[in-house]
Amino acid sequence: MSLQDTLVVATVCGATTLNAFLSGALTVAIPSIGKDLNIIEANLQWPLTVFSLAYGCTLLLFGRMGDIFGARIMFLLGSAWFSAWSVGAGLAHNLASITIFLAMLGLGAAANTPAAIGILGSRFPPGSRRNTVFSILGAGQPLGSILGLILGGLFSESRATWRAIFYVQAGLGAFFVVLGFFQLDKQHTDSDLYAKGLDWGGAILSTAGFGLLTYALAASASASRGWANPSIIGLTCASVVILVLFWIYETWQEKKGAAVLMPPSIWKHPSARMPSTIGMVFFAWWNFNMLLYLCALYYQQVNGLSPLQTSIRFLPGFFFGVVFNLTGGWLFESGGGIIYYSRSNHDEHGICLTIFSARVDNDSKSLAGGIFNVAIRLGSLLGLTVSTIISTTVSKHFQSAHPELSSDDPRVLMAGFRAAAWSLIAAGGISFAIALIGLRGIGIIGKPSEAKSAARESEPKSEASVGTVETIA
């Protein structure tokens, strides 16, 4: 690998690693942020929720924009936006400000993540170098989480406080923007750009639908009467209607050959197993990210550990996450011709390795990266909100039965944590069942045979299709 290729990989992986760095740092720093900004327990999930909401709801939009305007432009703009709002988050002084600033950070992360996959997929042809590059990209996620956990714990206990987390990531983000400006190749021709334009109707409907659904789930935890609150019922029903309209609209757009945000036909391809794959990833990350959140609260609020002591207990799982991502690139050396993006679901009990592989047209590489990350982020987001609702509700009932205990008593908190943990076991079991049944007979996805390659090349491509998606677990 040449020096310029090395710098490109370092730039792209470094900028996207900051997203994982922020998640890791917030895992141990959120209790300190809550104390410093006087945020009650029921509202602690809001900063994390809005980050996931802004990120997950705009991934497809920014992924398609990367295919239209160029991945380089979207990567640089997204990284610069992320860096600028990191400074604002470090200056936050209440729940409203930290929530708004983290929402802005989510938009920046949503812009540079799909673009990063598009940049690497376009620069490195199918083969061993591409496999190595994407394994490095996957390994950057647990590495960023490790650094976030360690520095988040150190800063939270030092005079620098949790605010230094955002200042450090702002400086690193600015560095990667400057490096990327000089190292990333400019778009030479229009042949690799998506020529149908942006599907604004699909973008508005999907963002509104997922946004209302997420807000309803999060607000039900603190609303009077919970799920029975009329406003919660109304928002939930409205979100379902909007998402159904989104599907109908995208189907209509695809049939007439117009621009689509996410083609419905991609879910019906016989070799893709998209419903099974996305469902498996969705529930796996529901389990994984919420487990990190609950463990951080358990270590600090029940066991009374410091943020640094908490971060140390997460290190083994993240270490193996790096190892298995790098090993995955070597194990799937035979997967030439397939763009794959890997992430490791790693916790303190074990490792679940999920690899999403997609062979797409040249004008849809960024969109392909957005699809997989939508499943990850929305699974994490809904898992966070639903599990928080369960934990808060059970803790309130336990305190009502034991009025002599305060709301922050470890016994009260543990009652809610245990109930939420059972929901995570259920989510993990659902993910396993989907993989066991839905991916049965999928076979080994790797380098296609010459006969299959020739047959595929002879088949006419559908104008409205973004490509063939293959999956392996």
What is the full DSSP assignment across 271-312? TT-HHHHHHHHHHHHHHHHHHHHHHHHIIIIIS---HHHHHH
**What tokens were used for 231?**
């406003």
Mean pLDDT confidence for 260-265: 78
What pLDDT sits at residue 461? Answer: 43
pLDDT digits (tens, 9 = 90+) for 347-387: 333 333 334 444 445 555 556 566 777 777 778 777 877 88
Closest CA to 113 of 19, 193, 242: 19
Q: What confidence score (pLDDT) does residue 242 get? A: 93
Structure confidence at residue 193 (pLDDT):
55
Can you list the positions of beta strands (E) in 303-399? Answer: 339-346, 351-360
SS3 405: coil
pLDDT at residue 83 tops 90 = yes
Residue of higher predicted confidence among 117 and 245 = 245
CA distance 43 to 133: 39
How many residues does this entry show for the chain?
Answer: 473
Task: Give DSSP secondary structure letters for 430-455.
Answer: HHHHHHHHHTTT----SSPPHHHHHH
**Cα dihedral value 64, 68, 70, 76, nearest 10:** -60
* Distance, CA of 359 to CA of 129 (rounded, Å): 16
Is 471 in contact with 268 (CB distance < 8 Å)? Answer: no
pLDDT at 341: 35
Q: What is the pLDDT of residues 263-311, one digit of tens each?
A: 787 777 666 677 887 888 889 888 877 887 788 788 888 888 877 787 7
Q: Work out the angle between the directed axes of helices 274-297 and 365-401 (0-180°, nearest 10).
A: 40
Query: Would you say 138 and 34 are in contact if contact means Cβ atoms under 8 Å apart?
Result: no
Whether the per-residue pLDDT at 167 is higher than 60: the answer is yes
Tell me how far apart the alpha carbons of residues 338 and 257 are, in angstroms, rounded to a whole number: 26
Q: State how far the Cα of 383 lies from the Cα of 386, in Å rounded to an integer.
A: 5
Tokens matching residue 141: 């996620």
Q: What is the phi/psi pair of residue 314, to 5°?
A: -95, -10
% of the chain exceeding 90 in pLDDT: 15
More confident residue, 345 or 291: 291
CB-based burial, 206-219: b 16+ in 10 Å, e otherwise:
bbbbbbbbbbbbbb
Nearest to 338 by CA among 135, 142, 191: 135
Asked whether the predicted pLDDT for residue 40 surpasses 90, the reply is no
CA torsion, points 412, 388, 152, 310, in degrees to nearest 10?
Answer: 40
- The stretch 97-111 carries a mean pLDDT of 91
For residues 155-180, give the mean pLDDT: 90
Q: How far apart are CA 183 and CA 451, in angstroms?
A: 39
**pLDDT band, very low/low/confident/very high, at 319 (cuts 50, 70, 90):** confident
Residues 6+ apart with CB under 8 A from 2: none
Mean pLDDT value of segment 231-256: 89
Residue type, 100: I
Reduce the DSSP state of residue 269 to 3 states and report it. Answer: coil
DSSP per position, 87-156: HHHHT--SHHHHHHHHHHHHHHHHHHHHHHHHHHHHHS-TTHHHHHHHHHHHHHHHHHHHHHHHHHHHHH
Q: Residue 78 above 60 pLDDT? A: yes
pLDDT of res. 333: 52
Q: Is the pLDDT of residue 439 over 90?
A: no
From edge to edge, which strands make up the β-sheet containing 339-346?
339-346, 351-360, 467-472
Q: Helices 163-183 and 3-36 sit at what angle, rounded to 10 degrees?
A: 160
Query: Does residue 429 have a pLDDT over 90?
Result: yes
Q: Which residue is it, tokens 């432009």?
A: 73
With 80 as the cut, is the pLDDT of residue 93 above it?
yes
Specify the 3-state DSSP secondary structure of 346: strand
Supply the pTM of this predicted model.
0.71
- Report which listed range, 146-155, 327-336, 458-467, is most confident: 146-155
Name the more confident of 57 and 445: 57
Structure tokens at 13: 């992986």
Element (DSSP H or E) covering residue 472:
strand 467-472
- Can you tell me the distance from the alpha carbon of 34 to that of 48, in angstroms, rounded to the nearest whole number? 12
For residue 465, give the DSSP letter.
Answer: -
The number of helices, as runs of H, and strands, as runs of E, in the chain is: 14, 3
Average pLDDT over residues 93-98: 90
In the predicted model, what is the mean pLDDT of the chain?
76
